[in-house]
Amino acid sequence: MATSTSSLTQRPAWRALGAHYQKIKDVHLRQLFADDPKRGERLVVEDVGLYFDYSKNRVNEETIRLLVALAEECGLRARIEAMFGGEKINVTEKRAVLHVALRAPREQSILVDGENVVPKVHEVLDRMADFANRVRSGGWKGHTGKRIRNVINIGIGGSDLGPVMAYEALRHYSQRDLTFRFVSNVDGTDFAEATHDLKAEETLFIVSSKTFTTQETMTNALTARQWALKQLGNEKAVAKHFAAVSTNGQEVAKFGIDMANMFGFWDWVGGRYSMDSAIGLSTMLAIGPDNFRAMLAGFHAMDEHFRAAPFNKNLPALLGLLGVWYNNFFGSQTVAVLPYDQYLKRFPAYLQQLTMESNGKSVTLEGAHVDYQTGAIFWGEPGTNGQHSFYQLIHQGTKLIPCDFIGFCKTLNPLGEHHDLLMSSLLAQSEALAFGKTAAEVKAEGTPDWLVPHRVFEGNRPSNTILIERLTPEVLGKLVALYEHAVFTQGVIWNVDSFDQWGVELGKVLARRITPELQPASESPLSHDSSTNTLIRRYRKLKGNTK
Ligand code: F6P
């Protein structure tokens, strides 16, 4: 394979960043704050209701100037316009990338191949709202005439992670007499546990799959069909207990789902960018159409901000560029996302697909091998739980892990002192990471000499803090769009296709070949490597051993 002509690493701004890194890499955040006491007031951006403090990063104004220059040299502005303009920027799949159209107001016009797609987006939203209202009000009756009490979304990847994350995030706004569950794994345990205490006559399945061919989802959907029909005893029940969300009407019809219960979307919506499409049907059922539309308005507000704001005041651009700074110059491998809100417990998992399936690439748009690092590993857990688990390594380990802290000023569940304790922890953690504790400070506390090195905190560990008034549907939309566009920004800098996912294909093909080989009676000769062959034989033997 051709190697990249290194156009990125040859860019003037990239080279200038390399030289600048040599100057700033050993400067401590203590020093940066001492030199500029107002740094914490200046290195912030407040827009669209989000307060973004990036002052605890190992940057100065020159760093930001150079990162912005890099974005400009890489043509970020033109690429944003290309995305919003419906150009086929997903080059390997020859598709437009228009999740921004999913949240465009009715009156906006966005053209794909000359067709304005906004009216059809709203037509689907209106149908979803009608369906959601009927289910939520009890107007929609199951096969035996009972109202729906349980909704189970069956999907995987973007057809699961967005819905489950949004449901958990917005649970406070959900209709509490409806139960929501999410089945994704082909492991039968997922389905069994999700349904073991439910009655089919009160359960609605939403089969969510862009392609409607994904093995895990179709296996779970067929199992759901059998489970429901076993209890309800009549094929006609499918129409009352199954809805589908897909781009593939033919396969939905083949499955036997009433087309009136199908909600469509389009090939220009990537799976990991689809939680605000019809894939959000379970979200709308939970929080209602008005809250869902508020979430879309939040997405749209961030879209407009991303499109219009200068890069040095642009929340997604800055978040993405800071990520490039650590990834490519400091050599950081990972980013920790640390929401101090229990409702955001699935947000890091959601971001894993968004960021890693998008930018986990090693060839450029032109197909040349990159000679620089691309997508970081994203991970995280809500605070304060993570503090009692992995924060030790972030504070005192040998790795530099940039962190995103996300917190809210007002809690949705005021309970005694809880919220102040939660938020004081967030603030304490970012402060401790940045400034640490010197040996002199540790000694001054009377620590014996032998213990001092163990109790020193080097500090100089960078973080962003995103502070928001309250978690609402609108805010969730803004937060997700913030990361979507940060991913886009990074993809433009690294010159990769952030919208394909060829890397998931090989495993799928090999699994299809292995499935029949796992049968104990299988006679088929095994022609894998010696490790895979031996593991298959062992599995066959033990699986067949009923003793
Ligand atoms: O993991 C690969 C992938 O194609 C994801 O991009 C997608 O979100 C997921 O599978 C599910 O695909 P579908 O919605 O077509 O079932």
- The predicted-structure confidence for 164-208, as pLDDT tens digits, reads as follows 999 999 999 999 999 999 999 999 999 999 999 999 999 999 999
Tokens of 257: 């789902």
Q: Which atom of ligand 1 sits closest to the CA of residue 246?
A: 14
* Angle, helix 12-24 to helix 61-73, in steps of 10 degrees: 160
Q: Which atom of ligand 1 sits closest to the CA of residue 214?
A: 16
pTM for the predicted model, two decimal places: 0.97
Give yes or no: 523 in active site: no
Residue type at 536?
I
User: Nearest C-alpha to atom 16 of ligand 1 is from which residue?
Assistant: 209
Q: Which atom of ligand 1 sits closest to the CA of residue 216?
A: 16
| Class of residue 171 by CB neighbours under 10 A (exposed 0-12, middle 13-18, buried 19+) | middle
Contact 404, 462 (CB under 8 A): no
439 Cα distance to chain centroid: 40
Q: How far is CA 321 from CA 8, 26, 366, 463, in A?
A: 14, 20, 22, 13
Residue partners of 268: CB distance under 8 A and separation at least 6: 86, 95, 96, 97, 98, 101, 112, 117
In the prediction, which pLDDT does 6 show?
59
- If one residue of 159, 206, 263 were mutated to test the ligand 1 pocket, choosing by the most ligand atoms within 8 A of its CB, it would be 159
User: Nearest C-alpha to atom 3 of ligand 1 is from which residue?
Assistant: 157
In the prediction, which pLDDT does 545 show?
60
Tokens of 350: 């959601």
Rounded to the nearest whole angstrom, what is the distance from the C-alpha of residue 216 to the centroid of ligand 1?
10
Rounded to the nearest whole angstrom, what is the distance from the C-alpha of residue 213 to the centroid of ligand 1?
9
Rounded to the nearest whole angstrom, what is the distance from the C-alpha of residue 74 to the centroid of ligand 1?
29
Separation of alpha carbons 365 and 370, rounded Å = 10
Separation of alpha carbons 143 and 233, rounded Å = 10
* Angle, helix 76-84 to helix 61-73, in steps of 10 degrees: 60
User: Nearest C-alpha to atom 10 of ligand 1 is from which residue?
Assistant: 157
Percentage above 90 pLDDT, the chain: 95
Is the dihedral angle over the CA atoms 414, 416, 422, 423 positive or is it negative?
positive
Query: Other C-beta atoms within 10 Å of 538: how many?
Result: 10
| Class of residue 306 by CB neighbours under 10 A (exposed 0-12, middle 13-18, buried 19+) | buried
Rounded to the nearest whole angstrom, what is the distance from the C-alpha of residue 503 to the centroid of ligand 1?
12
Give yes or no: 366 in active site: no
Instruction: Give strand pairing partners of 466.
Output: 52, 406
Q: How far is CA 414 from CA 10, 172, 420, in A?
A: 53, 12, 10
Rounded to the nearest whole angstrom, what is the distance from the C-alpha of residue 158 to the centroid of ligand 1?
6
Q: What is the CA radius of gyration of the chain?
A: 25
Contact 144, 201 (CB under 8 A): yes
Contact 329, 17 (CB under 8 A): yes
Pocket of ligand 1, beta carbon within 6 A: 156-159, 209-211, 214, 217, 271-272, 357, 501, 504
Q: Which atom of ligand 1 sits closest to the CA of residue 271?
A: 8
Give yes or no: 410 in active site: no
Largest CA-CA distance found in the chain, in angstroms, rounded = 78
The DSSP result for 348-403, as a single string, is HHHHHIIIIIHH---B-TTSPBPSS--PPEEE---TTGGGGTTHHHHHHSSS---E
Low-confidence ranges of the chain (pLDDT < 70): 1-6, 522, 545-547
Number of helices and strands in the chain (H, E) = 23, 13
Residue in 94, 388, 454, 547 annotated catalytic: 388
Q: Which atom of ligand 1 sits closest to the CA of residue 156?
A: 11
> Dihedral, CA atoms, 442, 444, 448, 452, nearest 10 degrees?
20
- If one residue of 90, 164, 501, 502 were mutated to test the ligand 1 pocket, choosing by the most ligand atoms within 8 A of its CB, it would be 501
In this structure, are strands 150-154 and 115-116 parallel, antiparallel, or unpaired?
A: unpaired
Q: Which of 374, 313, 303, 306 has its CA nearest to residue 67?
A: 313
Rounded to the nearest whole angstrom, what is the distance from the C-alpha of residue 423 to the centroid of ligand 1?
36
Rounded to the nearest whole angstrom, what is the distance from the C-alpha of residue 471 to the centroid of ligand 1?
28
- If one residue of 99, 156, 160 were mutated to test the ligand 1 pocket, choosing by the most ligand atoms within 8 A of its CB, it would be 156
